[in-house]
Amino acid sequence: MDKEQTKKSLEKEREDLSKQLTIFTSEDPFTEKNRDTSRNVEDNPVKFEEHERIGATTRDLKIRLKEVEKALKKLDSGNYGECENCGKKIELERLVALPTAKYCLNCQKNFKNR
């Protein structure tokens, strides 16, 4: 596995996620700059639904961003690709498919079966 290529890919993903977070946050109808002060926005079900959708999306983006940042820290510290549960190497195919993987396939399966 080319760690430099993995790092570049993760850095690009971090940049993309940060941009998406900025966009979604700016589109929230309940932010101060978007708030319609002429009436109570909370009483507008369409805007409230949009706020809820944006909130859920930004939560997911923040979680993903934290995963990417954690993987980048692991790359820098030299323990990228080690299972956080058993300490064994995470399968190369798994890391290629999911560069932010924290667990080897065996440990991941065990967590899902609990």
| Interatomic CA distance for residues 107 and 54, integer angstroms | 33
Same domain for 101 and 71: no
Give the model confidence (pLDDT) of 30-63 as tens digits. Answer: 765 555 544 555 567 787 788 888 889 999 999 9
Residues 34 and 28 sit within 8 Å (Cβ to Cβ):
yes
| Interatomic CA distance for residues 110 and 64, integer angstroms | 22
Domain tally for the chain?
2
pLDDT of residue 29: 73
The torsion angles phi and psi of 83, rounded to 5 degrees, stand at: -65, 130
Same domain for 68 and 17: yes
Same domain for 55 and 25: yes
As averages over each run of 10 residues, the pLDDT of the chain (114 residues) reads 91 98 84 55 73 90 98 96 97 96 96 84
Q: pTM of the prediction? A: 0.81
Same domain for 89 and 74: no
**Residue 59, domain extent:** 3-80
Same domain for 76 and 24: yes
Same domain for 88 and 75: no
Same domain for 113 and 69: no
